Structure 1
Amino acid sequence: MNTTNDNQIVGSDYRFTILSDRLIRMEYQVDVHFEDRLTQTVQNRDFKCPDYTMIYDEQGFLIQIETDFFHLYYRGGEFNGETLFIDSKYNYGTHYNRWHYGDVDEKNLLGTARTLDKADGEIPLEMGVLSKSGFSILDDSKSMIQDHSTIVNRENTEIDLYGFAFGHRYLDALKTYYQLTGFPPIIPRFALGNWWSRFYPYTQDSYLQLMARFEQARIPLSISVLDMNWHTTDIPKEYGSGWTGYTWNKKYFNDPEKMLAELHRQGKRVTLNVHPAAGIRPSEAVYPEVAKAVGIDPRSKQPVIFDLNNPKFVKAYMETIHHALEKQGVDFWWVDWQQGSARSQHQVDPLWLLNVLHYNDQKARKGNDALTLSRYAGPGSHRYPIGFSGDSIASWQTLQFQPYFTATASNIGYTWWSHDIGGHMHGKYDPELALRWLQFGVFSPIMRLHSSDNQFMGKEPWNYDSETEQIMTNFMQLRHKLVPYIENANIETHEQGIPLMQPLYYQYPEDKPAYQYQNEYFFGSQLLVIPITTPKDSVIQEGRVDGYIPAGQWTDLLTHQTYVGPDELTLNRPDSEYPVLVKSGGVVVLNEDYMENINQLPVALTVQLFAGDDNQYSFKEQLGDNQATTTFRWSSVKRQLTIEINDPAGIIPPNRQLDLVEITSGQTVVVSGVQETNTTFVTPIQVDGEQLSSQLIYQKLVKCRLDFDLKQKIYQVVQNTTNLNQVILTLQSMAPQVVSEMLSEVLLSK
């Protein structure tokens, strides 16, 4: 017997819910106890009922369900490869892909993993909701029930699947996934700057002295992280290890409130690392109060067991312990749960409970300033940002994997990974590795330098040679300059489901190279990053990376070299440069006052216009619950930049100054719009392709490990031969291959 209720088709042991013309829920339950509550992953099933066609008892099928984008066939009975399959209509019905129940999605573009602990290179990834096949499955069968404040395991065994039939419209699929599971919340602005973090036994004086040295070096920091040494770790053996703790170590921090107040005065937010697994032991200062709260006589010295299923413990855990420390000045928590998942199949994963508990507590009291740093607990974790990826090995192999790992996590909606930039442990002194990792950190979601308590592993820029120190300083300053740009992408992630970091195939799904160059990614809507993750070549003394240049014109953010795609080529960069390309007509908004308090909206902004194709860039800013939008519209024909401001709450500083820098070889730009009188032109950067090529080739040859005479001959060829093809052929015949490739890249760019 079948019953139909708007978008649901229900039988004796099955239920199909057509959520949209591209998304269907498929359930099988022998006890007919279908799950209507929300789950750990799925937080919304209230979709607009789409148009669909139902066919009963025809051609050997009990049910057929068809929309414009998929056709489901069901023979009845238990779900298996014979009874249930779906044709997804790829590219609006021009191609079809058939999925049978139980199929392994060999073309799945993958998602992420719980941790990078001890990773020294690539690790396996879980499935995502995007697939080159055009159809993917989200299996919610084992997801916990999370309906409002209730978090429990499922009572009944049920097959509970969601089928996504989006073809290669990946961003549409991701937005629907967010509609189903909840959109990522806003990340506080202060989290977008540089974090200083280290597992190290700082004292109060040494830590403040370190912060002062960063200030003197004009290296901006927005978050101070105190790892586990903030609390007492030397406890009686009968109480267990010292990893868990909530009592300030007065040997190191004699006046923590004073220290926290000073860090706040400097404009920093502070987080403390906690490992809560061991509960509250009698060695803790708060033990008597917590013990009484859960019904234990403090005189018994019986430890208070960590138990998030006990409401009395939860109340004491949050209010007596964490809220009390927050009153002293702690802003948010690094919840470092390393004890795996549930203790049995009948218990809820404690990591999930911790993430929900801490983030919701922050959200209720701090609104859009809510934040936690914790570990990934599976699909749906994007609602409780941000993710701590774990204690990775400091090696080139680990760095080489991280860009792909970070961008690919967007395929399961997880957009805010925070890595131990530079690597957590082991490794050896390698300034180049530390620098390239830091540069990736600048162009990653969270820029958190971190290392172990090995006294030789500190990531302070001045621990390296003077040249590396200066480059590191420049890039850490650049991160804070980029905060307005990153903040805009942050808002877009929350409102539109557009990740800050996107694999190439999100924008170019039909370009084969977009799947091959796995480390390459978009960073916001205007920038394309091709990270350098291998050591420099010994001859040319530059880092090299193979990249894909999509169709159109792309200009390097730092060198202003211009490339025209589609093309595949090797990019070469000295230590001081990093391949970040701006799309044609791109607009990049920067705050040149990188030492300014990150929590304030800048009075002055620099707007870099990479003139080219028509472009519209909506730049959003947020203060509290209020937003302002400045829209930049670039017309290539009129060579006109129109600026429109929508600021209903008046959050933009009244004396806001926009300094426009045009990076182009073209003519004068005309500015129009409501902000015209407050816009000034900084001297335009006129890019002369030939002059730029000549300068770059000279600079690159200077550092090449070649005979001086050969360098001279190469440079004369470049200077005196006008035919570009002839120059490249001559270089190939007279110079080592790596040198000719490096110089050809410069010559072929404009």
Structure 2
Amino acid sequence: MRPVADPAAVVRGEHYRITVLTDGLVRLEYAEDGVFEDRASTFAVNRLLPVPEFRVRESDGRLEVVTSRFRLTYDRGPFTTSGLSLAVGGGISAYHSVWRYGQPPRDLGGTARTLDDTDGAIPLEPGVVSRTGFAVIDDSHSFLFDDEGWVSAGNVGRTDLYVFAYGHDYAEAVRAFYAVSGPPPVVPRWALGNWWSRHHAYTDESYLALLDRFGREGLPFSVGVIDMDWHLTDVDPRHGSGWTGYTWNRALFPDPAEFLKRVHDNGLRVTLNVHPADGVRSYEQAYPAMAAALDRDPSTAEPIAFDVTDRRFLTAYFEVLHRGLEADGVDFWWLDWQSGPYSRIAGIDPLWMLNHFHFLDNGKLTFSRYAGPGSHRYPVGFSGDTVISWASLAFQPFFTATAANIGYGWWSHDIGGHFFGVRDDELATRWVQFGCFSPILRLHSAKNPFLHKEPWSFPSPAREVMTTFLRLRHRLVPYLHTMNHRAGLPLVLPMYYRSPGTDEAYEVPGQYQFGTELLVAAITSPADRRTGLARVRTWLPEGTWVDVLTDLVYDGGRTLYLHRDLATIPVLATGGAIVPLDGAAVPANDPVEPEHLEVLVVVGADGSFDLVEDAATTPLRWRQDQGELVAGPAAGAGLVTRTWTTTFPALTGVDPVASVDNLPVPAEIHRDETRTSITVRDVPVTATLRIGVGARPRPRRNDVAGLLFTRLDRAQIAYATKTRVHETATADRPLAIRLSALQALGLDDELLTAIGEILLAQTLEEI
């Protein structure tokens, strides 16, 4: 922590202090006693930043502070709406771009503490980006850290605001947020695979049998989440409920250490659920040691209350309650705090305390709810117990992406929903598809024998589709781990980060950027009964876009409906995109650096991607004019050789060639109707691999006739209507005339947009 700002960044009066932290971020403090706060807060841990250029002007009793991004005007009195304002530069209309003290900004939202019990959208707390160009974090009531890292309640009566004035430069606003609040840590590579979680009273034998079944089914998992039945839950009512517990249920797990070892042997890490609110009761195995640590008499059997504000209790909480369980093999903890934001000391939020000190204690990962700005320092986020419904699914892509506005990038949702609702196999499948392209994929469900997420418990085609996407998630880990190391921005971003001046970018709540290379349009509504297709409203920026899952090609610069059957969702990339995948069709549980790597390359423009692994970085470069991918050499330690498959979605009619250190090498080439792949085996990681497909390659044209026939053939409509639609759509007439004639047929909207998608995908220039 470096909480004290450079004095050169400070403008100070008797009762006010203005600190120019960056060219677009200013801290505004007012205190009647003239005492200002220099301790770190839950949000602000680093104020010692390079001093930006700024000017200070004084005239007519007013103070102006001017940077390249804003002009602050202040009457040097108590903060008031008329006396303190900030105008944002950057070409935004002055009518909307002036912040005045006391007026809440209209930002684009941040995130929320939890989705517990929600069935659809909920209000979000503030973020640091806004279409008006300014946003505010009020840090006046946050609790504080002293020099020893302990906490105290905030100062009473102080005003402490952080005004973000970055205009529409949303990415820089988030980077400034991280500069002051600290960067998000790199999560362990194993956290990026699939997590298995279910509230169910497993035994050691049944859990290990489940892992064996996953293996036979080719379903990879890297994290095992064991819900609260790991500990004693059926307790004497005189102790209260069994919600809190720290003692293994030996009837279910006779030898916990051996059980955890065998889970580790399967390639999974383990987290246990803890609800700490009820403290430590006398029946707990750790009670005597806990009492001794706190100088209590264990013979009294008095319960030890949970008190996160007591340093001795917190020390014993870790050293007595958790350390022995960690020695058994627990890798990290699921902190399931559901008891509100209040503690024995006003202003101290127990959830904040648990997140902060658990992460410091563990050093790898904490799994808990969001507690306010700065919570990004303690990943991963548990979003809570949502209702199983289409409305819940529809909100989650928007919720996940919008959390980037407060720097919170690692949400983990109950994929498939938690409780209530009705069984809907289509809904469950679509949720898994979204989960594959979300920060953390964790299947979960409530304690109900009819609530389960094992893919084999679903009929075809849901079973096969879920299996495909769970495998794909593990195949994506090389890409995800590189994004994990990317400084400055979360994995999932709203579309308006790409084009903040485009209205359409704000109008697609189910669509988001997934890392640097991919756009995902989650399908969150049921399929139309007649077409058998679900649709999602999608905005494609300028350029040519390829769906890397289906090889369909689209012209961008517009909003359109994309339609997909249950097998897939739109995952799009534009020219120059490079996406590294694990080359195994069925990846292993532990997602270590793969010996076989598949690289997706979308042709059409130059591209660059640096594959980051735990011990090495490998540059990947696509040169469009030459039609050549250059991979390597790797910098750092790691594998000695690697097999490479290079796949070109939507590229056909080419003859790839390969060389290693400029010498031709044998390769295996695979072609199908829509893409081309080439595999080169046993390439030294210190060598340079080149894959050529010919100069200036372009994505293929869609098979409009074939796609149109298939779409109509599967539609559950009258055969006569199919014939008429097909004749109209394929007539030898200008496209505009055909589209007009199709509209006049009185077709259902879903069928009309499904046909229009195919006809318009690559033919905008013909209209």
Residue type matched to 1:545 in 2? Answer: V
Map 1:32-47; keep pairs closer than 5 Å: 32-47=34-49
Question: For residues 711 and 185 of structure 1, do their structure 2 counterparts lie closer, same or farther at Cα, with a shift above 3 Å needed?
Answer: same
Structure 1 residue 718: deviation in Å?
4.9
Question: For residues 96 and 281 of structure 1, do their structure 2 counterparts lie closer, same or farther at Cα, with a shift above 3 Å needed?
Answer: closer
1:606 corresponds to 2:598: yes
Structure 1 residue 737: deviation in Å?
3.5
Map 1:363-378; keep pairs closer than 5 Å: 363=363, 370-378=364-372
Q: Deviation digits for residues 621-654 of structure 1, max 9, x if unmatched?
A: 12xxx4x222222222222223343423x12x11
Does structure 2 conserve the Cα–Cα contact (< 8 Å) formed by 1:643 and 1:671?
A: no
1:426 corresponds to 2:420: yes
Aligned to 1:478: 472
Q: Secondary structure in 2 aligned to 1:373?
A: coil
Map 1:505-516; keep pairs closer than 5 Å: 505-516=496-507
Residue among 520, 530, 533 paired with 1:529? 520
Residue type matched to 1:117 in 2? Answer: D
Map 1:275-674; keep pairs closer than 5 Å: 275-343=275-343, 346-363=346-363, 370-492=364-486, 496-593=487-584, 594-622=586-614, 626=615, 628-648=616-636, 650-651=637-638, 653-663=639-649, 664-665=651-652, 667=654
CA distance in structure 2 between the aligned counterparts of 1:720 and 1:570, rounded to whole angstroms: 23
Structure 1 residue 724: deviation in Å?
3.8
Residue type matched to 1:14 in 2? Answer: Y
Does structure 1 conserve the Cα–Cα contact (< 8 Å) formed by 2:220 and 2:589?
A: no
CA distance in structure 2 between the aligned counterparts of 1:676 and 1:418, rounded to whole angstroms: 46
Structure 1 residue 665: deviation in Å?
4.5
CA distance in structure 2 between the aligned counterparts of 1:150 and 1:91, rounded to whole angstroms: 44
Does structure 2 conserve the Cα–Cα contact (< 8 Å) formed by 1:614 and 1:636?
A: yes
Aligned to 1:367: none
Residue among 50, 53, 64 paired with 2:52? 50
Aligned to 2:680: none
Does structure 2 conserve the Cα–Cα contact (< 8 Å) formed by 1:643 and 1:673?
A: no
Q: Secondary structure in 1 aligned to 2:613?
A: strand
Map 1:680-719; keep pairs closer than 5 Å: 680=667, 682-684=669-671, 687=674, 692-718=703-729
Shifted more, 310-319 versus 562-571: the winner is 310-319
Structure 1 residue 691: deviation in Å?
6.2
Residue type matched to 1:39 in 2? Answer: S
Question: For residues 105 and 671 of structure 1, do their structure 2 counterparts lie closer, same or farther at Cα, with a shift above 3 Å needed?
Answer: farther
CA distance in structure 1 between the aligned counterparts of 2:665 and 2:315, rounded to whole angstroms: 52
Q: Secondary structure in 1 aligned to 2:560?
A: strand
Question: For residues 555 and 320 of structure 1, do their structure 2 counterparts lie closer, same or farther at Cα, with a shift above 3 Å needed?
Answer: same
CA distance in structure 2 between the aligned counterparts of 1:80 and 1:669, rounded to whole angstroms: 68
Shifted more, 403-412 versus 92-101: the winner is 92-101
Residue among 717, 728, 740 paired with 2:752? 740
Residue type matched to 1:41 in 2? Answer: F
Does structure 1 conserve the Cα–Cα contact (< 8 Å) formed by 2:600 and 2:647?
A: yes
CA distance in structure 2 between the aligned counterparts of 1:635 and 1:263, rounded to whole angstroms: 45
CA distance in structure 1 between the aligned counterparts of 2:21 and 2:662, rounded to whole angstroms: 44
Question: For residues 287 and 477 of structure 1, do their structure 2 counterparts lie closer, same or farther at Cα, with a shift above 3 Å needed?
Answer: same
1:110 corresponds to 2:106: no
CA distance in structure 1 between the aligned counterparts of 2:28 and 2:471, rounded to whole angstroms: 51
Residue type matched to 1:45 in 2? Answer: R
CA distance in structure 2 between the aligned counterparts of 1:617 and 1:699, rounded to whole angstroms: 36
Question: For residues 722 and 596 of structure 1, do their structure 2 counterparts lie closer, same or farther at Cα, with a shift above 3 Å needed?
Answer: farther
Q: Deviation digits for residues 428-447 of structure 1, max 9, x if unmatched?
A: 11001101111111100010
Structure 1 residue 96: deviation in Å?
8.1
CA distance in structure 1 between the aligned counterparts of 2:14 and 2:260, rounded to whole angstroms: 62
Map 1:27-106; keep pairs closer than 5 Å: 27-56=29-58, 58-61=59-62, 63-91=63-91, 97-106=97-106
CA distance in structure 2 between the aligned counterparts of 1:374 and 1:311, rounded to whole angstroms: 21
Question: For residues 215 and 236 of structure 1, do their structure 2 counterparts lie closer, same or farther at Cα, with a shift above 3 Å needed?
Answer: same
Structure 1 residue 24: deviation in Å?
1.2
Map 1:165-180; keep pairs closer than 5 Å: 165-180=165-180
Q: Deviation digits for residues 675-716 of structure 1, max 9, x if unmatched?
A: 987895642566485663333333322321112343344445
Aligned to 2:129: 130
Residue type matched to 2:623 in 1? Answer: S
Question: For residues 728 and 418 of structure 1, do their structure 2 counterparts lie closer, same or farther at Cα, with a shift above 3 Å needed?
Answer: same
How many residue pairs get aligned? The number is 729
1:140 corresponds to 2:142: no
Q: Deviation digits for residues 560-582 of structure 1, max 9, x if unmatched?
A: 11111111111110000111111
Q: Secondary structure in 2 aligned to 1:16?
A: strand
Q: CA RMSD in A?
A: 2.2
Does structure 2 conserve the Cα–Cα contact (< 8 Å) formed by 1:661 and 1:682?
A: no
Aligned to 2:20: 18
Does structure 2 conserve the Cα–Cα contact (< 8 Å) formed by 1:138 and 1:161?
A: yes
Residue type matched to 1:739 in 2? Answer: L
Q: Deviation digits for residues 246-278 of structure 1, max 9, x if unmatched?
A: 111122222222221111111011110000011
Q: Deviation digits for residues 580-628 of structure 1, max 9, x if unmatched?
A: 1112221111113243243421111001111012222222112xxx4x2
Unaligned stretches of 5+ residues in structure 2: 1-5, 675-698, 763-767
Q: Deviation digits for residues 12-53 of structure 1, max 9, x if unmatched?
A: 100111112221111101111100111111011111112211
TM-score (norm 2): 0.91
Residue type matched to 2:385 in 1? Answer: D
Does structure 2 conserve the Cα–Cα contact (< 8 Å) formed by 1:122 and 1:401?
A: yes
1:217 corresponds to 2:211: no
Residue type matched to 1:419 in 2? Answer: H
CA distance in structure 1 between the aligned counterparts of 2:35 and 2:662, rounded to whole angstroms: 60
Residue type matched to 1:51 in 2? Answer: E
Question: For residues 406 and 454 of structure 1, do their structure 2 counterparts lie closer, same or farther at Cα, with a shift above 3 Å needed?
Answer: same
Unaligned stretches of 5+ residues in structure 1: 364-369
CA distance in structure 2 between the aligned counterparts of 1:691 and 1:50, rounded to whole angstroms: 51
Does structure 2 conserve the Cα–Cα contact (< 8 Å) formed by 1:9 and 1:15?
A: yes
Does structure 2 conserve the Cα–Cα contact (< 8 Å) formed by 1:659 and 1:679?
A: no
Does structure 1 conserve the Cα–Cα contact (< 8 Å) formed by 2:545 and 2:572?
A: yes
Question: For residues 501 and 336 of structure 1, do their structure 2 counterparts lie closer, same or farther at Cα, with a shift above 3 Å needed?
Answer: same
Q: Secondary structure in 2 aligned to 1:281?
A: coil
Does structure 2 conserve the Cα–Cα contact (< 8 Å) formed by 1:605 and 1:659?
A: yes
Structure 1 residue 528: deviation in Å?
0.3
TM-score (norm 1): 0.93
Residue type matched to 2:139 in 1? Answer: D
Question: For residues 685 and 104 of structure 1, do their structure 2 counterparts lie closer, same or farther at Cα, with a shift above 3 Å needed?
Answer: farther
CA distance in structure 1 between the aligned counterparts of 2:735 and 2:122, rounded to whole angstroms: 44
Shifted more, 704-713 versus 376-385: the winner is 704-713
Structure 1 residue 310: deviation in Å?
2.4
Map 1:220-299; keep pairs closer than 5 Å: 220-299=220-299
Matched residues, percent identical? 41
Q: Secondary structure in 2 aligned to 1:473?
A: helix
